């Protein structure tokens, strides 16, 4: 039995992992989907006080409270920031770190660092106009979703806490790289805000060469959009089981 900790990206919640959780449970594994503070099932906790550190604590405290060892930490999109932080702070608790079409930062970068200036400005302006300093979700079509999947995500998405957006993350790349890593590259269609990450995860010189050292890195392409837990759950589960 493997232990999976699943962390959603911006605007989503633990609900987004439902199909993956069900599939992992059916095969006898333990799968815990974390809902980050202020979004999804915990939208009632939305506050301008929520920061990147709040969300890092959400995940680290789940690992601690569940007394997990050898956890496969699976992070989607924005949660790449969180997974990187957790791997830096408690690498001994992780068996594998899976970035699912996720942000992979350099030390000192924020989630917004690799975004186009127009994207940054629009999100920050929306947050400034919000009483909770949050910015709204995009239409799920940008994630390659249509029909029932599109409707399912659209009615569940919630605004995302804005103070997570420009918060820099400091970490030791060599310590993070000591955890074996997989990057799941969702290529059909590609999400524009992840485009700058794709060459990084294929660059042997990334993190001053630490990226390809340590526990090792592999890149797996899936012919689906940015939300593979919804659009291609069985394909994603096969990747996760390989990591376990």
CA distances from 240 to 53, 101, 133, 146, 147 (A): 26, 14, 35, 25, 26
pLDDT at 77: 98
Q: Which residues are annotated as catalytic?
A: 77
Portion of the chain with pLDDT greater than 70, in percent: 100
Question: Which segments of the chain have a pLDDT < 50?
Answer: none
Q: Which long-range contacts (CB under 8 A, 24 or more apart) does 189-192 make?
A: 189/144, 189/225, 191/101, 191/142, 191/143, 191/225, 191/226, 192/116
Q: Decide: 5 and 34 in contact? Cβ < 8 Å.
A: yes
* Span 106-139, pLDDT tens digits: 999 999 999 999 999 999 999 999 999 999 999 9
Question: At 108, which CATH number?
Answer: 3.40.50.1820
pLDDT at 23: 98
pLDDT at 99: 98
* Span 87-97, pLDDT tens digits: 999 999 999 99
Say how many domains are in the chain.
1
User: For 244, which DSSP code?
Assistant: -
Cis before 189 (ω within 30)? yes
pTM of the shown model: 0.98
Show the domain range for 199: 3-243
């Amino acid at each position: 039995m493997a232990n999976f900790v699943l962390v959603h990206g911006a605007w989503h919640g633990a609900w987004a992992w439902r199909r993956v959780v069900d599939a992992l449970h059916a095969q006898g594994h333990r799968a815990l989907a974390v809902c980050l503070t202020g979004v999804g099932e915990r939208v009632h906790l939305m506050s301008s006080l929520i920061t990147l550190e709040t969300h890092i604590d959400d995940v680290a405290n789940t690992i601690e409270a569940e007394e997990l060892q050898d956890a496969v930490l699976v992070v989607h999109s924005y949660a790449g920031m969180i997974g990187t932080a957790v791997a830096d702070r408690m690498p001994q608790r992780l068996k594998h770190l899976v970035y699912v079409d996720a942000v992979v930062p350099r030390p000192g970068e924020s989630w917004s660092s690799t975004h186009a200036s127009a994207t940054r400005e629009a999100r920050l302006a929306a947050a400034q106009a919000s009483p909770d300093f949050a910015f709204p979700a995009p239409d799920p079509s940008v994630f390659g979703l249509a029909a029932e999947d599109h409707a399912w995500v659209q009615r569940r998405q919630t605004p995302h806490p804005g103070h997570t957006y420009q918060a820099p993350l400091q970490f030791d790349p060599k310590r993070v790289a000591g955890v074996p890593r997989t990057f799941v590259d969702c290529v059909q269609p590609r999400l524009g805000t992840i485009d700058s990450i794709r060459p990084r995860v294929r660059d042997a010189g990334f993190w001053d060469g630490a990226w390809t050292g340590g526990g090792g890195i592999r890149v797996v392409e899936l012919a689906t959009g940015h939300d593979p837990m919804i659009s291609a759950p069985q394909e994603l589960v096969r990747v996760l089981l390989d990591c376990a």
